[in-house]
A and B are shown apart, each in its own frame.
Chain A
């Protein structure tokens, strides 16, 4: 085993990754599925793959999820 886990994770790409535009186009749909635990990752694996790899889009997802599930902001 080579000592490269973090770098390897960073360089790893998922062919299912749909990219920022498509993930953000459907983020409002995806986040509502996540909020009700409705198998969002299974239904939209390409968005799930993208959010795992893209920090900015993942941050947007977290913010939107907080906006719709958090207590009165």
Chain B
């Protein structure tokens, strides 16, 4: 999808295509021990600043603040530094070096927050509380007569049409309010695998609801 902009092998070919700032970063990180050490210090300061901002931005998902929140930022920054330095030779100059590097910080913050979800919570994965569904999707109790059949059909489709794993993921995310990243941490899986499982589950469930006549075949998503 994204065109490879740098086809050459070796740092000299690659750096010729980089913006000056990115080229400086790569030169310093691949330079003398003193250059590398100084570059790592500068990079860590930037990475930590981004991590702190990002954990503050997402602090609404967490029940922590102050030193504990800052500690989470430090952990994310440290792990991001390891990832960045291990993958520097994979940087292809498709963006600025700092944008590429910041991406690892954001990923580490997501990862840490996903794991943090379970620190103060326990969720029984087999627990199916369907009473949460109307609130989850803004279905007004005053108009239950209008959506009762829809919810009943959805529940039936979850039982009949999903695999055990798809059902487990659907229940955790939709009924139990577990975030996708938290589920990834709990199952020892990865985001793409869980998303794909939910994607397939959503497609199956919608097809079942349309077939039962309780959902319009035309999407209302773009309405």
Interface residues of A (CB under 8 A from B): 1-13, 17-22, 24-29, 31-32, 44, 46-47, 53-57, 59-60, 63-64, 66-68, 70, 73
Contact A8 B57 (CB under 8 A): no
Q: Which A residue's beta carbon lies closest to that of B109?
A: A63
Contact A44 B1 (CB under 8 A): yes
Interface residues of B (CB under 8 A from A): 1-2, 49-50, 52-54, 57-58, 94-96, 98-100, 102-103, 105-107, 109-110, 137-139, 143, 146-147, 150, 154, 174, 179-181, 190-192, 195-196, 199, 202-203, 205-206, 209, 214-216, 219-221, 223
Q: Which A residue's beta carbon lies closest to that of B52?
A: A73
Interface of A is mostly: helix
Task: For A67, list chain B residues within 8 Å (CB).
Answer: 50, 53-54, 99, 102, 105-106
Contact B150 A24 (CB under 8 A): no
Please name 9 further chain A to chain B contacts, defined as beta carbons within 8 Å, in addition to the given A11-B205, A21-B191, sorted by A numbering.
A3-B143, A3-B146, A8-B215, A11-B206, A17-B199, A20-B190, A47-B1, A67-B105, A73-B53
Counting from the closest, the 7 A-B pairs by CB-CB distance are A11-B206, A20-B192, A21-B192, A73-B53, A28-B95, A6-B137, A7-B137
Contact B54 A6 (CB under 8 A): no
In the complex, what distance in Å separates the CA atom of A26 from the CA atom of B96?
A: 13
In the complex, what distance in Å separates the CA atom of A6 from the CA atom of B202?
A: 13
Task: For B179, list chain A residues within 8 Å (CB).
Answer: 55-56
In the complex, what distance in Å separates the CA atom of A60 from the CA atom of B195?
A: 15
